[in-house]
Amino acid sequence: MNNFRFFLLFLATVSMTFVYSNRVVFGFTVICQQSGNETEEVTYVDPDYYLLDSLNVAWMFTATAIGMCLGPAPFYFAHFLSTRVLIFSYGFLSAISSILYPLADSLGFWPALVCRFLAGFAQASQLHFTNDLVLRWTPQSEASFFFSIMLATSQFGPLFTMILGGEMCSSSFLDGKPPTTFWDNLEESEKKYILAGKHSTNKKDAVPYKELLKDWTIWISLLMFTGYYLAMIVYQQYSPIFIKQVLHFTIRETGYFSAIPQFIAIFIKIGCGRLLDVKFGCGPKLTLVIPLLILESMSAFSLFLTGFLDDRVWALICMMIFASLHFFVPVICSRTIQIRAAQHSHFALNLNMVIAGIAQILIPLGVQAVVPDNSREQWALVFYFLVITIVITSVLYTVFSRVSPAEWTNPKKKSEYTIYRLSDISPPEPITIPMPRECKY
């Protein structure tokens, strides 16, 4: 199979799409329980139903966020397990969190809270497995393209969920092989293509936590991720509520209007991701900065107009433009971290999931405080705050980030390392040579 890496990409994308979908589906669970749905049947809701209390709804979102904060932990104490076992485990937790939710919902607040925690816990695996796939199975010339497709699961999942959720609310009704055996499915030509230009030490380097956490580029990328998550979580969790209850569209229209930006963002993310690999003669930083400034300036202006305009149709259009463009940011951040931290990028990317979890804890509390009456004026304040966050983080990245491997990614001790080179020799043989002390690459 000469394109086996694309087969793996497809499987990973589908799996992570459903993991993501299981997390965001709760937003439609909330609005489906409220009056105003276009069903022919009359639904009677118990006045004591726990989701009718906005504080309980906030706690459900918070439980998901706590799960995302704790989700990366097993990667550091369960490292003796293979990647395939870990992927299966996280996927199983995600599936269980959704399959058992109807039963948990009928039992009350606490069982449902556990399910939401498990959904967030499983979601925390996204960046770790994405990074692992790109490092192991992607040639350098396709790294951004693979990253953008895997990160597009944050659009595939909501796209599927929002359309299906809107329709349903409006209607009446791995095996045990070790990971290395994957190579048996590769043609030799594809193996050479994937490994060309890569090197690996014979002994895995320990993560230089101190040096990594002192690197300005890592922190700027994490900060920009924070700005992205704030806006993204507000959109994905609250856009159905804003469109239906504030802009007063029907629930079926809400489902489609919420999904349209996800659909557009898929093409923008994948298309621009492929262009990042082409580079057009630009250096690594300029290749990332140009699309960032273009897309984020337009998305920030569109979000400002969402809060500023009184016309509900134009406010909706501007909101959809914002979401369509803003969802490209994680591709920039992830590639920057992967280039800067190299073989240690998994640690920094797992920090992103912790940040996402913290953001999800704070956002429901912040929205509850700033938007108590769910009015246009109150939501405008939220949008203006997000605009300021987007502008500041984009400027910081443009001015201060360095898109090149950090010195602390170089091996500190004399050791042997393996170079893979692309040649006409079949099968390709790695050449193992001692590393000179003064060698820097």
- Long-range contacts, stretch 416-419, CB < 8 angstroms, 24+ apart: 416/201, 416/202, 417/199, 417/200, 417/201, 417/202, 418/199, 418/200, 418/201, 418/202, 419/199
pTM: 0.71
**Which residue(s) pair with 434 in the sheet?**
416
Type of residue found at 419: I
What does the chain come to in residues? 441
CB atoms within 10 A of CB 203: 11
Among 137, 120, 119, residue whose Cα is nearest residue 129: 137
Q: Is the pLDDT of residue 356 over 90?
A: no
Strand order in the sheet with 199-201: 199-201, 416-419, 431-434
Of 55-69, 330-344, 345-359, 407-421, where does mean pLDDT reach its minimum?
Answer: 407-421
DSSP state, residue 402:
-
Of 35-39, 160-164, 322-326, 419-423, where does mean pLDDT reach its minimum?
Answer: 419-423
Of 35-44, 104-113, 232-241, 247-256, where does mean pLDDT reach its minimum?
Answer: 35-44
In the chain, the domains with their CATH numbers are 1-157 (no CATH), 208-407 (1.20.1250.20)
- Residue 255: CB partners within 8 Å, gap ≥ 6? 28, 162, 163, 164, 165, 166, 167, 169, 170, 240
Q: Which whole number is the average pLDDT over 77-94?
A: 85
Q: In this prediction, what percent of the chain has a pLDDT beyond 70?
A: 78
Helices (H), 371-436: 376-400
CB 158 within 8 A of CB 258: yes
Which pLDDT belongs to residue 417?
Answer: 47
Which pLDDT belongs to residue 40?
Answer: 46
Tokens describing residue 76? 């550091």
pLDDT, tens only, 6-19? 888 899 999 998 88
Which pLDDT belongs to residue 194?
Answer: 67
Pick 136 or 316 by higher pLDDT. 316
Which pLDDT belongs to residue 180?
Answer: 38
Distance CA 391, CA 370 (A): 21
Of 194-198, 371-375, 377-381, 405-409, where does mean pLDDT reach its minimum?
Answer: 194-198
Of 58-72, 269-283, 317-331, where does mean pLDDT reach its minimum?
Answer: 269-283
Pick 283 or 281 by higher pLDDT. 283
pLDDT, tens only, 20-68? 888 777 766 666 665 555 544 545 556 778 888 878 887 888 888 899 8
Q: Is the pLDDT of residue 404 over 70?
A: yes
Of 39-48, 51-60, 141-150, 234-243, where does mean pLDDT reach its minimum?
Answer: 39-48
Of 32-46, 71-85, 254-268, 326-340, where does mean pLDDT reach its minimum?
Answer: 32-46
Q: In this prediction, what percent of the chain has a pLDDT beyond 90?
A: 31
Distance CA 123, CA 109 (A): 21
Give just the sign of the alpha carbon dihedral 344, 81, 419, 12: negative
Distance CA 420, CA 12 (A): 25
Q: Is the pLDDT of residue 176 over 60?
A: no
Q: Which whole number is the average pLDDT over 99-105?
A: 90
